Amino acid sequence: MAGFQGFEITWRADVFSGAPQHTSAAAFGTLGINFRARKPVASAVAL
């Protein structure tokens, strides 16, 4: 992913259910997520 390392999804949850307006999120199984990654210490150029 563009040169990042240590990609990790740490949390996922349904954050769209019950929204005031109709959403297409459920049709595609859409979840809210948190994820993190790190730019390598020794790398300076994106792949």
Partner 1 sequence: MSQPVSPPKLDIDTLRQAIRKEYAEVANSPSQGFHFHTGRPLAKLLGYTDAWIDALPESTVASLAGTGNPFSLGALLPGERVVDVGSGAGFDSLIAARLVGPTGAVIGVDMTPEMLQKARTAAAAMGYQHVEFRDGYAETLPVLDAWADVVLSNGVVNLCPDKLAVFREMYRVLKPGGRLQIGDILVQQAIPDAAREHVDLWTG
Q: Smallest distance from the beta carbon of 11 to partner 1, in angstroms? A: 7
Q: Round to whole Å and give the CA distance between 10 and 23.
A: 24
The footprint of partner 1 on residues 11-40 (CB under 8 A) is: 11-13, 15-16, 18-25, 27-40
Question: Do residues 33 and 9 make contact, with C-beta atoms less than 8 angstroms apart?
Answer: yes
CB of 34 to partner 1, least distance (A): 4
Query: CA 37, CA 44: separation in Å to the nearest integer?
Result: 15
Contacts with partner 1 by CB under 8 A lie at 1-4, 9-13, 15-16, 18-25, 27-44, 46
